[in-house]
Amino acid sequence: AAKSGVDFEDKYLLWHNKTLPFQIYFRKNEKGFIITISSIGNFKLITKTNEEVSSFSNKNKTVFANLKEGNYTLIYESFSEPIKIRLK
């Protein structure tokens, strides 16, 4: 069945680990993937070619937008182990 109009439903994948003090939301739009981290902190997202992805943040979250498919590493200042992320 076809549906006309705009769908405003926010669709995302939530990743939450009980040992981490934050949650990670994954979304996809026409420009690519969006990773939103619901926490205050110093987060870095690194590509497989060791380039740092720019982000924007406010007092509640950090957002990495317009990401392409691939492997990324999320580094959080309070943890010694990075988080590996694969977008596809």
pTM higher than 0.85, yes or no?
Answer: no
Total count of residues recorded for the chain: 88
pLDDT band at 28 (very low <50, low <70, confident <90, very high): very high
CB of 88 closer than 8 Å to CB of 69: yes
Q: Model confidence at 85, in pLDDT bands (50, 70, 90)?
A: very high
Strand partners, 84: 73
